[in-house]
Amino acid sequence: MLALSARGVLPKVDYAIFADTGWEPQAVYDHLDRLEREIANPAGIPILRVSSGNIRDDALDPDHRFASMPLYILNPDGRPGMTRRQCTGEYKIKPIKRKIRELLGYPHPVRIPKDVFVEQWVGISTDEFHRAKDSDVKYMRNRHPLIDLGWSRDDCVRYLTSIGLADTPKSSCLGCPFHGNAQWRHIRDNSPKEWEDVVAFDAAIRKGNARANASGNQLLGQAFLHRSRVPLAEAPIDHVTASEWAAMQRRLGDDSVDVEELEAGVVEGCSPWACRGAAPDMARDDFGLAS
């Protein structure tokens, strides 16, 4: 959408906002710098980088409240579970809203008059139109220009390729549990330092986040980044056949994912304005936590 706006296919936007969780792959930060240099700056579109902190550091900091990532849990009785996702709200939605209020001149908690609002573009394509939603606040009105153009994901990839951006990386936290095996392998095979980083993080959250542990609310089960609920360093991220995965699901009692999703990742991964809607049944705020 930034390129379409900068090149006059869509009207010119006043700003583009990037919500930085502090833990994106280096390739994403490099790509953002490139977009800024080659596309946004020449068109006079400022890219505003907003942040609520560093999700990785916060998870491991006993003095910091942890906005839960969607971790895979193995309870003491062997039942599988998940922690509810709060990270998108904390690290993406919150800082974007804060910045928008600031741009409008009504920083929190000042009341915003009802006729004051921004038009916010959300980059959802036609294949996921069911994720297009109205904003939950009156000072932001959502528009979905890719849907208006009738563009699918493939159309977007074709356009990016045509303007020399075929290598656009997928934005998400380096250690996001929504990764599929393809993404985990990509990190392992292309970026050994980042792989070391996610493996170390996975080991560090096995008993839950640092704040919960420090306050005596430690996890009774174990937490994992990989869906198999096996430590990431040993998790089956290379080719998994449908029958191997079916056997693993039987062992875990988790039949919520098929082998394609295991490979490609959670289809509706992490997007500030297009959450997955209802949380899966086994997701709980306090799942497996001591009271």
Total residues binding ligand SF4 (CB under 6 A): 13
d(CA 206, CA 221) in angstroms, rounded, equals: 8
SS3 186: helix
When asked if residue 52 is in the footprint of ligand SF4 (CB under 6 A), the reply is: no
Which of the ranges 6-14, 110-118, 173-181, 194-202 carries the binding residues for ligand SF4, by CB under 6 A? 173-181
Q: Is 85 in the site for ligand SF4 (CB under 6 A)?
A: yes
Q: Should residue 176 be labelled a site residue for ligand SF4 when binding is judged by CB under 6 A?
A: yes
Residue in the structure block whose two tokens are 């174990």: 222
Closest contact distance (angstroms) between CB of 112 and ligand SF4 is 26
Give 36 or 58: the residue with its C-beta nearer to ligand SF4.
58
Cβ closest to ligand SF4, residue 13 vs residue 235: 235
Rounded-to-integer distance, Cα 52 and Cα 284, Å = 23
- Smaller CB separation from ligand SF4, 21 or 209: 21
Inter-residue contact 211 to 62 (CB < 8 Å): yes
232 binds ligand SF4 (CB under 6 A): no
Residue 35, interface with ligand SF4 (CB under 6 A)?
A: no
* Residue at token pair 């409008």: 104
282 burial level (CB within 10 Å; 0-12, 13-18, 19+) = middle
Q: At what angle do helices 192-204 and 181-190 cross, to 10 degrees?
A: 120
Residues that bind ligand SF4 (CB under 6 A): 21, 55, 69-70, 85, 87-88, 91, 172-173, 176, 178, 270
